[in-house]
Structure 1
Amino acid sequence: MTSPAHDPAWVRGTMTAVAVTSPKSVETVEIPIPGPLAGHALVRVSYAGLCGTDLELLHGTASYVLDGRTRYPHVVGHEWSGTVVTAPGTGLAAGQRVVGQTMVPCGGCAHCRGGRRGLCPHMREVGLYGLQGAAAQYVRVPASSLVPVPDTVDARSAALVEPAVTVVEAFRRAGCLPTDRVAVVGTGTIGLLAVQLAAHLAQHVDAVGVDAPALELATGLGARRGLLPGQADPSAYSLVVEASGASAGFARALELVEPGGRVAAVGVTHEPVPQVDAARITLDGISVLGIRHGLDHYDETLGLFARGVLRAAPLIHAELPAAEARQAFRTLETGRGARPKILLSFDAADAADAADAREAEEAHVR
């Protein structure tokens, strides 16, 4: 058996990558391709998605930067899809289309052994801390963190599996039932994915947000109504998914949930929420569930995309090549409109196929 160090299929040399080089500075850079490592695969990246966490890395406000886990220059990219180049001794075949799990737990601690891998205290996360991001031509990752992509799921949909697994975890933890009346607070990527899954699982779903075009998009994705904050009835929902990550959104979620209902907090609120009525949580028997991630739901989530329960194309605002990384971040911050997702493309062939697929999907949404 050829050792990883002598694997002739492992690409050597340099590659293009997108890195935050210092606070408020993002560059397209040339860096070494990661070398062979036992138990790891080299993957040719197709797409890397950008989200609000990447903006926090850019501005230096991410917790990973503040506590020293991440240092600049830092290659971003924790939402991604690609194709295996080589993975010696792992059982993965060259040419296998894959999506990468962001969280890479240690596998040996009490949390990992007890079935709670997402809480591993020795966690590393691709593109966030501990592991190079996938906004690059190639990424080296543990083979155990790769999940095969079905033929019926295109590469850019696969790049949205990472945020979608958290939505799946939210509905699983909340025990969503067909009789539930669901409100989704927030109309970003997480919120719009939550609307789609709620429309599949529950009696009905309303989207609550501050952006009228995004609310209109939500209705096209299965929401019964798109409501501005003042239009949503208090105590009217048995399950509320807080996906905005805003202090006001968290407070609103607690207002909207009925006595005995559940709030699944998916958005990460970085500011205090002074409006919280703690007495109501207790006296009305409200369950508040913190949803960190959905590490164990990648296969299930790929199945949801394969069956059309979840659709990526309506969420994608733009696909830009790595050379236009600065423009991608500017658009992410200021110019997305209703569609929240920006993808960086590292594969011209995939990009051409995606353009055709997107045109067909947009016709379907209309």
Structure 2
Amino acid sequence: MRAFVITGPRRSAVREVDPPVPGSGQVVVDVERAGVCGTDAEFFSGEMDYLRRGHARYPMRIGHEWCGTVSAVGDGVDRSWIGRRTTGDTMLGCGRCRRCLTGLQHVCEDRFEIGIRGGWPGALAEQLLVPVTALHALPDTVDAVAGALVEPGGNALRAVEGAALEPGARVLVLGPGTIGLLAARFAVALGAEVHVLGLSEPSLEFARALGVHGAWTGERLPSLAFDAVIDAATSPDLPARALDLVEPGKRVVYIGLAATPSTVDTRTMVLKDVTAVGVLSGSAGLAGAIEHYASGTVDPRPLVAATVGLDGVGGVLAGSRPTGSGPGPKIHVDPRL
């Protein structure tokens, strides 16, 4: 089958590789749609920290935002999965350690992350191998575009849940990328007053079109009392600013990752009696994201600017936008093209 492979920093190819064969407890999914995200771009550039820590190495096959149809199952898997549309969790814990046994498989020390950590091949390929325990069935009301946005949606939903928002609360989202805009949409659906902070007017105009109550550059941000701040950006300076902007006694949620270390003054956190929440994965939010998408309370599809085939992925990771792209931040891949 065809698969996109990163062979080294800023080097990639579409190669013919052996198709997956399901082992016990595993399924093979025919990939219908996959997303490209900032983590993938960091692996392509060579800046991803997992490369330095030994959690990943080249050549590697990326892709952790996906949906498709189960085409084969291994021993011990109910054959009724065959033909079902599905998406799945990225984080695959060992299933034996204390963290896994207490529902924290996404921070298992020995975890695989599909397309990211431990060499588990990702979804930028015609087929994907997945443990059946990681699957989430997709209802007919969630199409392929939305299905491949369940994984980032789970992250965004967890960020909003971490902010502990009540209807009418005012929240500021830092960063109008995919996670930030999805978090904004979930917060709007909850009944919050949502503001977004970004750098460029086109991205902020797009955020306004999605229904946020305010979208601002840093110098134009009004002096408002924010009940929560969600940092979904990649700037090393914004974690500290998030803490400065949030109201005393309220919450800051950190889900964005900078390429270099950021500094937060814990004296500010203590003196403001702020609760800080970190969000690593969408694992616990996947089912909720699917429910929101299926019911129509949140429509993630406008975020997708373009869809390319496997041959177009290298250019996207290098920073180019496909011809005719819309204003959204997300690029999708259809391996069948």
TM over 0.5, shorter chain: yes
Alpha-carbon distance between aligned partners in 2 of 1:111 and 1:319, rounded to the nearest angstrom? 37
Paired residues for 1:107-256 under 5 Å: 107-130=95-118, 131-234=120-223, 236-256=225-245
Distance 1:106 1:50, change over 3 A: same
* Deviation for aligned residue 1:329: 2.1
Q: TM-score under structure 1 normalisation?
A: 0.86
Instruction: Provide Cα deviations, 1:197-227, integer angstroms capped at 9, x if missing partner.
Output: 1111133101111121111111121210111
Give distance in 2, aligned partners of 1:247 and 1:303. Answer: 34
Partner of 1:53: helix, strand, or coil? helix
Q: Aligned AA for 1:90?
A: V
Hey, what does 2:8 align to over in structure 1? Answer: 22
C-alpha distance in 1, partners of 2:70/2:262? Answer: 44
What is the rounded CA distance, in whole Å, between the counterparts of 1:18 and 1:163 in structure 2? 21
The corresponding residue for 1:56 is 42
How far did residue 26 of structure 1 move? 1.6
The Cα shift of 1:84 comes to 0.3
Shift of 1:235: 6.1
Please tell me whether the aligned partners of residues 235 and 257 of structure 1 are also in contact (alpha carbons under 8 angstroms). no
> Which among 295, 313, 334 is matched to residue 345 of structure 1?
334
Following TM superposition, by how much is the alpha carbon of 1:191 offset from its aligned partner in structure 2, in angstroms? Answer: 0.7
Task: Return the offset for 1:234.
Answer: 4.9
Query: Does the 8 Å CA contact 2:163/2:229 hold for their aligned counterparts?
Result: no
Paired residue secondary structure (2:122): coil
- 2:186 is paired with a residue whose SS is helix
2:281 is the counterpart of 1:306: no
Q: Which residue of 1 aligns with 2:313?
A: 325
User: What stretches of structure 1 of length at least 5 have no aligned partner?
Assistant: 1-14, 349-366
Indicate if the aligned counterparts of 1:235 and 1:259 stay in contact, CA closer than 8 A. no
* Pair 1:41-2:27 in alignment: yes
- What CA distance in whole angstroms lies between the structure 2 residues aligned with 1:102 and 1:195? 23
Identify if the C-alpha distance between structure 1 residues 333 and 26 changes in structure 2 by more than 3 Å, giving closer, same or farther. Answer: farther
The residue aligned with 2:256 is 267
Please say which of residues 287-296 and 323-332 is displaced more in the overlay.
Answer: 323-332
Give the match for residue 79 of structure 1.
Answer: 65
Matched letter for residue 284 of structure 2: D
Equivalent position amino acid for 2:89 in 1: Q
**Structure 2 counterpart of 1:68, which letter?**
G
1:52/1:134 CA distance change after superposition, 3 Å:
same
Q: Which residue of 1 aligns with 2:77?
A: 90
Distance 1:283 1:154 in 2: 47
> Match of 1:297, SS?
helix
Report the CA distance between 1:343 and its aligned residue.
Answer: 0.8
Contact 1:234 1:257 in 2 (8 A): no
* Per-residue deviation, residues 246-297 of structure 1 (Å, max 9, x unmatched): 11222221222111111111101232334x4432211111111111113122
Change (3 A) 1:195 1:180: same
Match 1:315 to one of 303, 310, 323: 303
- Segments of 5+ residues of structure 2 without an aligned counterpart are none
Is the CA contact (8 Å cut-off) linking 1:78 and 1:127 kept in structure 2? yes
Quote the offset at 1:164 in angstroms. Answer: 1.0
TM-score by length of 2: 0.94
- 1:35 CA drift (Å): 2.2
Identity over the aligned pairs, expressed in percent? 35
Per-residue deviation at 1:110?
Answer: 0.5
Contact 2:10–2:318 (Cα < 8 Å) also in 1: no
Question: Cα–Cα, structure 1 residues 283 and 334, in superposed 2: closer, same or farther, change >3 Å?
Answer: farther
Q: Verify the 8 A CA contact 1:188 1:340 in the aligned structure 2.
A: yes
- C-alpha distance 324-312 of structure 1, shift in aligned 2 (>3 A): same
SS of 1:74's equivalent?
coil
The answer to whether the Cα contact below 8 Å between 1:28 and 1:325 also exists between their aligned partners in 2 is no
Q: Is the 8 A contact 1:206 1:226 kept in 2?
A: yes
Residues 315-337 of structure 1: CA distance to partner in whole angstroms, max 9, x if unpaired? 11110011222233234689977
User: Secondary structure of 1:314's partner?
Assistant: helix
| Cα distance in 1 for residues equivalent to 2:259 and 2:9 | 19
